[in-house]
Structure 1
Amino acid sequence: MPGPAEAAAAALGITYKLVHHGPAGSLLEAAAAQGIPAGDLVKTLVVRRGEGDFLFVLVPGDRVISWPKLRALLGVNRLALPDAATAKAATGYERGTITPFGSSTPWPVIADVSMRGRVISLGAGERGVALQVSASSAVAALGGTFADVTEAA
């Protein structure tokens, strides 16, 4: 039986490949287990704009959020990463498994522009499992946007 992330991707009509890569202690280990470069493994970060107001930021594994770029894009002065319990409450997923697919609340999605046109690997809502998808198709299906919001790690 598919998990919530896989079911949501299927319901959105996304073409995906479900990959069971097993336990990984780091992003680099997870990328190696999938046979992909670290930049194709995408971190889904939950960012808090305000009380009860979150968004997903999709960040390639070889990059980090540029807080000044993201604040400018959103027109805010302050953003934060919530603690693990708050992120789980906002998404239904534990840290390390968070994905915009099947989240308990469909928060807005911002994907770094460097992913456009690439096949990426996102968490699938459980440890050791990933969804490999077209970034462009996934972001479009999620109603997200691409923007320059990262910098080299």
Structure 2
Amino acid sequence: MSKTTRATQTLSKAGIRFETVTYDYDPHAERIGLQAAAAVGEAPHRVLKTLMAELDGKPVCVVVPSDREVSMKKLAAAFGGKSAQMMKPADAERLTGYHVGGISPFGQRKLVPTAIEIAAMDEDMVYMNGGQRGLQVRLPPKDAQRVLKAIVAALVAD
């Protein structure tokens, strides 16, 4: 497995310090983010999952703890939109250039508005997908927010 991806190159180019962590990706896992958290030996709320959604028909990227679900209502409100829905996996892969299970918010083919769950900002370090299945990057959430130019909002369902 290569530890150099568009995601890690994007972080390096931005001067962000991060560490890569590899793990055995299970394509049959019911919840990929939870499987990643268990595999790297970290609490699920520190391992963030990257989801692609559509807000009023336009793509957005959403980053939330792997043990939580996105509230579409909160997502729409965070961006000042009317309605949000999850993007179809094939559309997410085409837009980002990554495979489902390896979608990173960093280094996507097309820059789209990104939101990070506010609770993640309380952590010293978080894990995010590094641009391929079985690769996570560990970094401070504030650095992730800065390089992504992400908004921070309450995004998870109660």
Report the TM-score, using the length of structure 2 for normalisation.
0.88
Q: Which residue of 2 aligns with 1:137?
A: 143
> 1:54-76, CA deviations, whole angstroms, 9 ceiling, x for partnerless residues?
11110101211112212222232
Task: Give, as a single letter, the amino acid of the residue that structure 2 aligns with 1:98.
Answer: I
Q: Which residue of 2 aligns with 1:18?
A: 20
Q: Which runs of 5+ in 1 are unaligned?
A: none
> How much identity, in percent, do the aligned residues show?
26
SS in 1 for 2:149: coil
Picking from 123, 128, 131, the partner of 1:125 is 131
Tell me, yes or no, if structure 1 residue 90 matches structure 2 residue 95. Answer: yes
Q: Which runs of 5+ in 2 are unaligned?
A: none
Tell me, yes or no, if structure 1 residue 45 matches structure 2 residue 47. Answer: no
Q: Which residue of 1 aligns with 2:9?
A: 7
Range that drifts further, 105-114 or 73-82:
73-82
Task: Give, as a single letter, the amino acid of the residue that structure 1 aligns with 2:47.
Answer: L
Alpha carbons 1:47, 1:54 under 8 Å: kept: yes
Range that drifts further, 21-30 or 106-115:
21-30
Task: Give, as a single letter, the amino acid of the residue that structure 1 aligns with 2:94.
Answer: A
Mapped to 2, the partners of 1:140 and 1:117 lie a distance apart of 15
Mapped to 2, the partners of 1:121 and 1:31 lie a distance apart of 9
Tell me, yes or no, if structure 1 residue 75 matches structure 2 residue 75. Answer: no
1:95-114 aligned within 5 A? 95-114=100-119
SS in 2 for 1:69: helix
**Structure 1 residue 117: deviation in Å?**
3.8
Q: Which residue of 1 aligns with 2:36?
A: 30
Alpha carbons 1:117, 1:134 under 8 Å: kept: no
Q: Which residue of 2 aligns with 1:56?
A: 61
**Structure 1 residue 22: deviation in Å?**
1.8
SS in 2 for 1:64: coil
Task: Give, as a single letter, the amino acid of the residue that structure 1 aligns with 2:39.
Answer: A
> 1:129-148, CA deviations, whole angstroms, 9 ceiling, x for partnerless residues?
11111111111121111111
Q: Which has the higher strand share?
A: 1
SS in 2 for 1:96: coil
Root-mean-square deviation over aligned CA pairs:
1.5
Mapped to 1, the partners of 2:146 and 2:122 lie a distance apart of 12
